[in-house]
Amino acid sequence: MDPKLLEIYRCLCDETRLRLLHLLKQGPLCVCHFQTILDVPQVAISKHLAYLRQHGLVTAQRHEQWMIYRLSEPSPRELHLQLQCLQDCVQAYPVFKSDLRRLKTLRRDCGWVAEVASPKNKGGRGKRMPAACCDK
């Protein structure tokens, strides 16, 4: 059996990874933002992101000192369906809601996040990330 679907499910059966994917569904993010939002030790975030990367769900790209993670594009059909379903399921769980709330705050306060998340406004693309990212 094509391992894809199983791989996806294995990626989805950890709370931290669910939260990471849920956030990534809103747009690319760097590790330090995940740390801020999830309030989980750096090493855990990093390892879970590595896991997701090894299984092809996300890709990473260095930008100066920061690693930017985003969902794989183009996403295979199963992944797309699963992430949509996750999105629907997650409504009832407070953690995900508060993650979203924190993400919005970050977007407001950190020019960079807002910009990468919705790349329509390209003014200053890649130039607005402050020294410690968003003055974290």
Binding positions for a second copy, rule: CB under 8 A: 1-2, 5-6, 9-10, 12-15, 18, 77-78, 81-82, 84-85, 88-90, 92-95
- Residues 86 and 26: beta-carbon distance below 8 Å: no
Q: How far is the CB of 127 from DNA (least distance, A)?
A: 11
Q: In what order do the strands lie in the sheet with 29-30?
A: 29-30, 66-71, 58-63
Which entry of DNA, a second copy, none binds 6, CB below 5 to 8 A by partner kind? Answer: a second copy
Outline where 39-93 has alpha helix (H). 42-54, 77-90
For the beta carbon of residue 8, count every other beta carbon within 10 angstroms. Answer: 19
- Residues 115 and 15: beta-carbon distance below 8 Å: no
Pick 21 or 32: Cβ nearer DNA: 32
Tokens 């801020």, located at residue: 36
- State the residues that interact with DNA by CB under 7 A: 10, 13-14, 16-17, 30-32, 35, 41-51, 60, 62, 64-67, 131-133, 136
Coil vs helix vs strand at 71: strand
Pick 13 or 120: Cβ nearer DNA: 13
Q: How far is the CB of 120 from DNA (least distance, A)?
A: 24
Q: How far is the CB of 38 from a second copy (least distance, A)?
A: 12
Please tell me the distance from the alpha carbon of residue 127 to that of residue 124, in angstroms, as a whole number. Answer: 5
Q: How far is the CB of 50 from DNA (least distance, A)?
A: 4
Which entry of DNA, a second copy, none binds 31, CB below 5 to 8 A by partner kind? Answer: DNA
